[in-house]
Amino acid sequence: MALWLYSGLAPFIARAAWGGVRRKLTAGGTDPARFRERLGHATAPRPEGRLLWFHAASVGESLSILRLIEHMGARDPDLSFLITSGTATSGAVLSKRLPPRTIHQFAPLDTRAALRRFLAHWHPDAGLFVESELWPHMIEEADAAGVPLGLVNARISDASARGWRRFAGSARHILGHFRLIHCQDIRTEQHLRTLGLDHARAGGNLKAASGPAPFDAAELDALHARLGARPVWVASSTHPGEEEIVLAAHRQLLVAHPDLLLILVPRHPDRAGAIMAAGTDMIPTWHRRSTDGAFEPSSQVYIADTMGETGLWYALAPIVFLGGSLTPVGGHNPYEPAHAGAVVLHGPLYANFAQAYAEIDAHGGGVEVRDAPEMADQIRHFLTDRQALDNAREKSRDFARAQTEILDDMATRITAALLEAPS
């Protein structure tokens, strides 16, 4: 019944959503000629030979598969790749990082007409959906067109699993189209097996193998020169309610370390102005990346409110607090700061990355803090004990390096299940 209602309403929902889709693409600086991709009209030719299609939601999911694509492309030089995603930001970021023989297109809206146009042009040899980006018509139409399908890096929270169980029949119908289901943790595997999907299998998180986030090496050198001997730490991907805790910790630290610089990277950069307005009552001297350029010798807090530079801040600072973990957001990806060699501080609310945080903490590269005093105490420890900081950073790197073996396993499973298996 749920899928029947969705199918009936989808064309009307898509027509109503089209204006918003255009506005978001325009605001994101997307070439208007590419808007038609959302209606299933291709703006690039299909490459010759076999084509493997990945469908992802936005930036994080799209970037998580790039190393896998590079790995599979190196193993099979006759294989080409197509990535579809829905946001302007993902398109802009991917345009600078696409591996060889890889094309990006904006995903068609979930209407049968748009999807049939898309599939008629691209004729993918197999399709892989990333994490939880599951559009019913897209899955059904691809399967009907004879495209073998897989789901990679699947993640289902406990709350989402309860929702899936309420519509268990619909869930089994949609997920039953996937020949391969790779889960990023045991919890997701158990949730899917409860729904009757016995071929779901945990196999590690693709984001773990994505490597360090990219950065401009010349800009990093310039910032190191500007920083000099000043100590620095980063609070990244913070959410409302967390900046107050971070700033309270920083204010405590400034007493003994008056030259300490905090680089604050809010999860949503458009909150930067409000964060600064509220934060100057606690700490007086701020500078802002988007308006002031680099930090100044007088900067106590530097708010990094630009897109695509997170890798720069992780490469600059040896200590990173990762937000979304002191408020009930579920945590954020700890692998990028770990790949950069930063010790990772985090709060206790990380349900979305429970296995990852348990492992990095046990490995010695991560530390849980519950409030501003604990955060300040832990950072103070690392600032005053260089050996402890160096050891924790090396353990963080070791934790990240150990994750890359997932690429071989995933490439082998995808090839066997989707590209070599009879259709």
Q: Which of 199-203, 305-309, 394-398, 399-403 is most confident?
A: 394-398
Token pair 């903490």 is at which residue?
Answer: 361
pLDDT at 101: 96
Q: Tell me the DSSP string of 182-193.
A: EESSHHHHHHHH
Q: Which of 37, 48, 61, 133 is catalytic?
A: 61
For the residues 31-54, what does the mean pLDDT come to?
Answer: 96
User: Tens of pLDDT along 196-237?
Assistant: 999 999 987 888 887 788 889 999 999 999 999 999 999 999
Residue 61 designated active-site? yes
Q: Tell me the DSSP string of 285-317.
A: -EEEHHHH-S--TT-SEEE---TT-HHHHHHH-
Q: Where in the chain is the domain with CATH 3.40.50.2000?
A: 217-403
For the residues 262-277, what does the mean pLDDT come to?
Answer: 96
Q: Where in the chain is the domain with CATH 3.40.50.11720?
A: 2-211+404-419
pLDDT at 41: 97
pLDDT at 57: 82
Residue type, 153: N
Please state, in angstroms and rounded to a whole number, the distance separating the CA atoms of residues 246 and 344.
14
For the residues 358-369, what does the mean pLDDT come to?
Answer: 96
Tell me: pLDDT of 1 over 60.
no
- Model confidence at 104, pLDDT cuts 50, 70, 90, reads very high
Read off the tokens for 40: 């299933």
* CATH fold of the domain at 217-403: Rossmann fold (3.40.50)
Residue-wise burial string across 237-267, b where 16 or more C-beta atoms lie within 10 A, e elsewhere: bbbeebbbbbbbbbbbbbeebeebbbbbbbe
CATH number (3.40.50.11720, 3.40.50.1010, 3.40.50.410, 3.30.43.10) of 2-211+404-419 reads 3.40.50.11720
For the residues 15-44, what does the mean pLDDT come to?
Answer: 90
Tell me: pLDDT of 4 over 80.
no
Tell me: pLDDT of 335 over 60.
yes
